[in-house]
Amino acid sequence: MTPEQSPLGKPAAYIEHYEPALLFPIARNNARETIGIGAQLPFFGTDIWNAYELSWLNPRGKPQVAIATFFVPADSPNIVESKSFKLYLGSFAQTPIESADAVRDMLKRDISAACGASVSVKLATPAEFHVLEFDELDGLSLDRLDLDAEVYHPDPELLTAAQQEAPVEETLVSNLLKSNCPVTGQPDWGSVQIHYVGPQIDHAGLLRYIISYRNHTGFHEQCVERIFVDIMRECRPVKLAVYARYTRRGGLDINPFRTNFNLPMPDNARTARQ
C-alpha cells in the first residue's frame, strides 16, 4: 500500500463505531531503500505516538476519555498512515467498552497487526493527566547560531566533522526542523536532538542541514532515519542517536527515536509546542 492510496488528502466519513479495518499500513522498506538502508538496519529504536483524541462509552453509555501512547519498534515492517490512525481512533467514540483495560487491549491488538510487530500501549486517564510531563529537549541549542541559510532540500554535503581531532561527546538540539507531508503537502513542524560520540560535527553545517529539510517531503519516521544515515555517512561518529518531537496534527504527535548504541528510552515529555 502506498501513501497515495491512503485516506490522506481525501474526504472521509467519520465512523463512530469500532472499525479496525480503517487502519492503513505503509511499508517502511520503500523509503529506506531510497536512502540506502537495506535489510540490516544501522539503528534500532522506537516511534512514540501520542493520541489525544480517544473516547469511548462505558457499558452505561457514559463517555470516557484517555490519552494513549503507542511505542512502535523501528524494526516493524510497517508504519500506520496518520489520518487512518485518526479515523480508527474516532471509531471508538460511540462504542460501548467494558473498561479502559479492554480499550488498551483492543488498541494493542489492532496496531500490532497493522505494524506487523508487537506494539506497546499505555493509557492515561483523566486522574493521571496532572502527572504528564512537559519539558524541552536537553542539549546545546544550534539555533543560537547567527548564520545565513539558502538550501531548503536535504543536502548531506552541508555536514562536516573534524576527523583529525580528538573525538567529543555532545548533545545538540534545534527547534527549526520542518518537513512536509508527502501526500498533502501540509507542513510538519518539529524539534530534533542529536547525541553523538566521535569527530566534532561542525555546528553551523549541522544547523544548515536541519534547515535544509524545510521543503522536503517525507513522513516523520523517514526524515529522522535520513538524518541518522546522512550524519553517519558524512561525519562518521562512533555512536549516534537522533530523536525528533513533532507537533501534533489530527490529535496525534509522532516522535521517532533512532540510535546505534544503548540509551534509555526517551521519557516522552511533551514540549511546549506539542
- The set of catalytic residues is 181, 188
DSSP 117: S
Residue entry with cell 531503500:
33
Q: What is the dihedral of CA 216, 221, 222, 227, to 10 degrees?
A: 80
Computed from CA positions of residues 32, 35, 36, 41, in that sequence, does the dihedral angle turn out positive or negative? negative
DSSP character at residue 5: G
Cα→Cα distances 127→59, 123, 130, 131, Å: 20, 11, 7, 9
User: Cα torsion at 25, 114, 28, 219 (round to 10°)?
Assistant: 60
CA 3 to CA 72: how far, in whole Å?
Answer: 19
DSSP code of 272? T
What element of type H or E holds 214?
none
**Helices and strands (H, E) in the chain, number of each type:** 5, 10
Assigned C-alpha cell, 155: 543536502
Closest among 78, 101, 80 to 21, alpha carbons compared? 80
Question: Do residues 100 and 138 touch, judged by C-beta distance below 8 A?
Answer: no
Can you tell me the distance from the alpha carbon of 20 to that of 121, in angstroms, rounded to the nearest whole number?
16
CA-CA-CA-CA torsion sign (193, 73, 212, 233): positive
